[in-house]
Structure formats: C-alpha cells, structure tokens
Amino acid sequence: MPECELLKKCAFFNDQLANMPGHAELFKDLYCRRDNKICARYMIAEKLGRESIPKDLFPNHVEMAKEIITYLSSKQKSH
C-alpha cells in the first residue's frame, strides 16, 4: 500500500495537532504509510474535501468521521 497522498499537508502526520499522542508514530505507520482507507481524516477528505477535516481529529476517530460525513452530506444536500 503506498503512502497516503495527503501526507505532506496533513496536520496529524506533521505533528500539528494540539495533543499528539505518545503512540503517534505507530498511527503514522498504521494509517499514513500502510492503509489510509481506514483513517478517519482520510475518510472525510475523500467524501467532503480536505477543508472539512476537523483540526484535531485523530486517524482512529472513525465513528466521529462517519457522523461528520453524514451530517455535512445532509447539510450540503439541503442547499
């Protein structure tokens, strides 16, 4: 699996989140370098665009990502 194409500009990958966890490097290996399809940030970028990713969303916050996608998708449809 190639590296995530958002890697260079991703706030998580570039340690720009306020509370980077101690296991951030593990997450980077798991999500950013191996399987971005399971990353919460990537899911939102893919469906709604990079600008819709909440600043402090972590790659493992998949449930939150799904809720955000459902919510913002329904908002977009209503316009």
Query: Site residues (CB under 6 A) for ligand SF4?
Result: 4, 6-7, 10, 12-13, 31-32, 36, 39, 41-42, 45, 59
Cβ closest to ligand SF4, residue 59 vs residue 68? 59
- Supply the minimum distance, in Å, between the C-beta of residue 56 and ligand SF4: 12
Cβ closest to ligand SF4, residue 29 vs residue 78? 29
Alpha carbon of 1 to those of 34, 69, 72, 79: distances in Å? 5, 25, 29, 37
Cβ closest to ligand SF4, residue 19 vs residue 78? 19
